[in-house]
Amino acid sequence: MREQALQRLREVFGYSQFRGQQSDIIDQVAQGGDALVLMPTGGGKSLCYQIPGLLRSGLTVVVSPLIALMDDQVATLNELGLRAAALNSTLDEQAQREIADSMRRGELEFLYLAPERLVKPRTLAFLQSLEIALFAIDEAHCVSQWGHDFRPEYLQLGVLAEQFPGVPRIALTATADERTRQEMIQRLKLEQARCFVSGFDRPNIFYRIVPKDRPRQQLQQFLAQHRGNAGIVYCMSRKKVEDTAQWLSEQGWPALPYHAGLSAELRSYHQKRFLNEEGLIMVATIAFGMGIDKSNVRFVAHLDLPKSVEAYYQETGRAGRDGLPADAWMAYGLQDVLMLNQIMANSEGDERHKRIERHKLDAMLALCELTSCRRQTLLGYFDETLAEPCGHCDNCLEPVSTWDGSEAARMALSTAYRSGQRYGVGHLIDILLGRDNDKIRSAGHQHLSTYGIGKQLSEADWRSVFRQLIARGLMDIDLDGYGGLRLNDSCRPLLRGEQGLALRRDPSRSAPLPGRSSD
Ligand code: ADP
Ligand code: ZN
């Protein structure tokens, strides 16, 4: 079997060798076993079902969530001389009938379709009448209700196990935290599947996370190292995508917007340009990316904080798929945290769901505020250990200096406490800096004992303090959506003076903060 697989790899695909675990995976599936494949983006997942599809007789059915993705794959296979087609809603009746006919005649080798199409009783009955080589479920993490790509239709794919008991199934994804893994096994009924987990390290990606200061200028500085390179700039909202793309264009950068609010034609036009032209910058929401197969994306920049470490990993993973050096750069600030909290507070879903989302956001924040190697923590999140600091991230290269923020933290916490634990950062800072305004006066906050006690720090310094207090879980943001800050039980030892607090010194601050430096 392995010999035959290698032969197909060389003759059909023109590659000389298998990468990583490809050979083992292909062997498992070609012999009729199920497989769950967790492999980073760019790792080579497609061959893991395409080659078994060629080795087994019958039709290989590939479930894929996006039409654009299917069309790309089908085009690639056709170019290689393989008989592949995609069944989707963009085809007219006639074209659909032709595909069905060629399947009936046993002429088709690969059929791509969306999950909602596959689980229709008519489709299933039709497939029952054919010889099926295997089922491949791409982007299988879409079955996870807690993930950001959740597709309800994926939940029904379990029927394949019941209706096609003898047909091997392979599920593939680049997302692989333990929870998602368990959900895939359970929901897709892959209890018998062999699990293949490949390394998540992307050694050619350089990670840098900076505190947001003047984001446009910061972005521009970052882009200056990437003139002529293709890259993606992620923003949270459609409006910000539009504004940023326009601003970059005005500054002379070749930037295009992409978000779900644009017409389908414009989206696909921009996507095609990004794939085919050199050196374009795609400014996008997370709507852009799944399945984008452009190997020479040299950078991924985030102007807003992703909701989770998985999202961050997946989005940054679109850089450097060709293995050459690439940059993952992000600017994040307190405002991001407040905004994400607000989105979560207003989102539908039960308490349990919200709690999980909060934990995910907390892990993302912790990664941002980290003073040690980013890669070690990132990989640790996927249960992978890196024995030594990587030497190829901002923190490894420019060790972070910290300062003793215990006193500042106590001032911040008691200001929140004394003002009733319902005010947002801006007002708390006004109190600490002893500012005079209507809101202060009407609340009588000029009489608080902490009024004006924080003048030795600047407004930006205080923002950094609050940001880190929240990121470390010492303060909570009210879920009512107004951004009021509350104390959290875990801040007690600090308040009682039993514990100190070392804070990260933001690199962009020019004026040094007071306090003992520990670097
Ligand atoms: P994924 O789906 O895991 O993101 P792909 O299947 O799209 O990755 O593969 C990424 C790139 O690597 C593609 O251009 C593919 O042709 C190439 N590739 C995959 N396997 C091999 C291999 N064994 N040798 C050389 N190139 C490979
Ligand atoms: Zn590192």
Pairwise CA distance, residues 19 & 50, whole Å: 14
For residue 139, which ligand has an atom nearest its CA?
Answer: 1
What is the model's pLDDT at position 480?
65
Residue 341: name the closest of 484, 145, 481 by CA. 481
38 alpha carbon to ligand 1 midpoint, in Å? 14
Q: Which amino acids bring their CB within 6 angstroms of ligand 1?
A: 15, 17-19, 22, 39, 41-47, 293, 295
Residue that is written with structure tokens 């430096």 in the block: 517
Residue 305: name the closest of 261, 272, 344, 266 by CA. 344
**Which protein residue has the closest C-alpha to ligand 1 atom 23?**
18
- Residue 341: pLDDT band with limits 50, 70, 90: confident
What is the model's pLDDT at position 519?
33
Pairwise CA distance, residues 321 & 333, whole Å: 28
User: Of 11-15, 126-130, 291-295, which gets the smallest average pLDDT?
Assistant: 291-295
Amino acid letter, 317? G
Q: Is the pLDDT of residue 427 over 60?
A: yes
506 alpha carbon to ligand 2 midpoint, in Å? 18
Return the higher-pLDDT residue of 517 and 457: 457
The residue whose CB lies within 8 Å of the most ligand 1 atoms, and thus the one to mutate among 47, 80, 313, is 47
The interaxial angle of helices 374-381 and 351-369, nearest 10 deg, is 160
User: What is 361-418 written as a DSSP string?
Assistant: HHHHHHHHH-SS-HHHHHHHHTT---SS--SSBHHHHSPPPEEE-HHHHHHHHHHHHH
Q: Is the pLDDT of residue 507 over 90?
A: no
* Percent over 70 (pLDDT), the chain: 96
- pLDDT tens digits, one per residue of 287-332: 887 667 788 999 999 999 999 998 999 899 999 987 789 999 999 9
User: Between the CA of residue 129 and those of 83, 106, 113, 126, 479, what are the distances in Å?
Assistant: 19, 11, 17, 5, 54
Amino acid letter, 279? G
270 alpha carbon to ligand 2 midpoint, in Å? 34
458 alpha carbon to ligand 1 midpoint, in Å? 50
User: What are φ and ψ of residue 129, in 5° steps?
Assistant: -85, -5
The residue whose CB lies within 8 Å of the most ligand 1 atoms, and thus the one to mutate among 72, 293, 315, is 293
| CA atoms within 13 Å, Cβ hemisphere of 488 | 14
Residue 444 is encoded by which pair of tokens? 């009588």
285 alpha carbon to ligand 2 midpoint, in Å? 27
Question: Rounded mean pLDDT of 377-405?
Answer: 90
15 alpha carbon to ligand 1 midpoint, in Å? 10
For residue 395, which ligand has an atom nearest its CA?
Answer: 2
Q: Is the pLDDT of residue 518 over 80?
A: no
CB 334 within 8 A of CB 233: no
- Residue 508: pLDDT band with limits 50, 70, 90: low
Q: Which atom of ligand 1 is nearest to the CA of 16?
A: 24
The interaxial angle of helices 374-381 and 309-316, nearest 10 deg, is 110
For residue 140, which ligand has an atom nearest its CA?
Answer: 1
Residue that is written with structure tokens 């489709």 in the block: 123
User: Of 238-247, 269-278, 427-436, 500-509, which gets the smallest average pLDDT?
Assistant: 500-509
- pLDDT tens digits, one per residue of 149-199: 889 999 999 999 999 999 999 999 987 677 888 999 999 999 999 999 887
What is the model's pLDDT at position 127?
96
Question: Rounded mean pLDDT of 405-427?
Answer: 95
What is the model's pLDDT at position 291?
62
Question: Rounded mean pLDDT of 453-465?
Answer: 94
Q: Is the pLDDT of residue 381 over 90?
A: no
Q: Which atom of ligand 1 is nearest to the CA of 40?
A: 3
Q: Is the pLDDT of residue 85 over 70?
A: yes
- Residue 470: pLDDT band with limits 50, 70, 90: confident
| CB environment 413-426: b (16+ within 10 A), e (fewer) | bbbbeebeeebbbe
291 alpha carbon to ligand 1 midpoint, in Å? 12
Mean pLDDT of the chain: 90
**Which protein residue has the closest C-alpha to ligand 1 atom 12?**
44
Pairwise CA distance, residues 187 & 431, whole Å: 52
35-38/194-197 β-pairing:
parallel
- pLDDT tens digits, one per residue of 24-68: 999 999 999 999 999 887 778 999 999 999 999 999 999 998 887
Return the higher-pLDDT residue of 240 and 519: 240
Return the higher-pLDDT residue of 294 and 283: 283
Q: Cα dihedral angle (331, 334, 337, 342), rounded to 10 degrees?
A: -130
Pairwise CA distance, residues 458 & 411, whole Å: 14
The whole-model pTM stands at 0.69
Q: Is the pLDDT of residue 514 over 50?
A: no
- pLDDT tens digits, one per residue of 219-256: 999 999 999 999 999 999 999 999 999 999 999 999 99
Residue 60 is encoded by which pair of tokens? 């290989």
What is the model's pLDDT at position 479?
66
Cα angle 422, 427, 428; round to 5: 75
What is the model's pLDDT at position 448?
96
What is the model's pLDDT at position 510?
41
User: Of 105-119, 142-156, 231-245, 391-405, which gets the smallest average pLDDT?
Assistant: 142-156
Give this complex's ipTM. Answer: 0.97
What is the model's pLDDT at position 348?
77
User: Of 109-118, 229-238, 406-415, 464-473, which gets the smallest average pLDDT?
Assistant: 464-473
Return the higher-pLDDT residue of 321 and 137: 137
Amino acid letter, 268? S
How many residues make up the chain in this entry?
519
Q: Is the pLDDT of residue 349 over 60?
A: yes
